Amino acid sequence: MTTSTASVSWFKRISKKVNIPPVFYFLIIVFLVSGILDQFFGGKQLLTNSSIILNIIVRSVALGIVATGQTLVLVGASIDLSVAYTISITAVMSSYLMQGQTSNVPLAIAGVFLIGISIGLVNGLIISKLRVNPFIATLGTSLIIKGVINATFSNYTGSVPREFEYIGYGTIGPIPVSIIILLLVVCIGWFILARTKLGSHLYGVGGNAEVARLSGVRTDRVLIIAHILCSVTAVLSGLFLVSLMRSGAPWVGPNGFYDLNSIATAVIGGTALSGGKGGVWGTLAGVLIFGVLDTAFTQMGVNPYLKIVFQGLIIVMAVASYTVRSKKEAA
């Protein structure tokens, strides 16, 4: 056996042992290709400037947090299209309640979390008790939230105190606080799916809800909890974004395409739209792929609208890839 063959064999054994999602290899390829293109057409810094690499992760924080929650509901064979407007209502309400005063921060945070939990609870109840299709149910909830926001807020609202901006701009040593928050959320999501009864029940419900019910799993409660957790992650994303912008904006959620992008990154990361399969580490890789491409396009001066087109193509390819994989597994 040659040295190179032995190295490949060793790498495969290690990969299987630590269960590295295949999408991480794709992330490496995307990063290297983007870096090479940047050398020819951009600022020639993507592969060499550590601050740009760190910025990729920071810019991925909001999507990474909400995509973790989206992964939970997708594993349970559900979906949540209300996350974008949950982010928006979090941003405007928290900013409105804070009014730039540090003393108002606890009330504002408690208020937006109560709103987020209520949204998740309503989504879960409609889906599990009324048996409404998750796509329709959460789309309807999203439109209701949109109507409330548009009727109440028309522009930037309120402001956050300087201390609250620490979430978006602060660091602990060389590491931004936002990255630490993202990793904590992802780790909690991993722990729920891999180490708790709720996680195993989510996989069971996503794989076959009827079998799970006959096995004693309270399927309705599992889906309700998953939707509440998803809405909570949307609230966290909204709080992070308002700490960056220093004021709440009603368009921050939909303009960031957090609903579709959170689904796309989860599917790219290996989570099945039909449920019962997936994980948050793959989702994180999918989020970073979006971040690398966005940064690379910015470095190369690509038209922002073309970036949106490319994101749309990625979403289509992700869903198409999922469909092909599903057919192969069924065969």
CB count in 10 Å sphere of residue 144: 14
Instruction: Check pLDDT > 70 for residue 224.
Output: yes
Residue 299 CB burial class (10 angstroms; 0-12, 13-18, ≥19): buried
Strand stretches in the chain, DSSP E: 171-172, 175-176
Question: What is the tens place of the pLDDT at every residue in 98-150?
Answer: 999 999 999 999 999 999 999 999 999 999 999 999 999 999 999 999 999 99
Q: Which two tokens stand for residue 97?
A: 């309640």
Dist. CA 185–CA 169, nearest whole Å: 18
Instruction: Check pLDDT > 50 for residue 284.
Output: yes
Instruction: Look at 55-64, 89-98, 201-210 and tell me which has the smallest mean pLDDT.
Output: 55-64
pTM: 0.89
**Cα first-last separation, the chain:** 36
Mean predicted lDDT score pLDDT of the chain: 88
Per-domain residue ranges for the chain?
Answer: 53-325
- Report the CATH architecture of 53-325: Orthogonal Bundle (1.10)
Q: Which two tokens stand for residue 190?
A: 């991993």
Place of tokens 């991480």: 24
Instruction: Look at 5-14, 95-104, 255-264 and tell me which has the smallest mean pLDDT.
Output: 5-14
Instruction: Check pLDDT > 50 for residue 67.
Output: yes
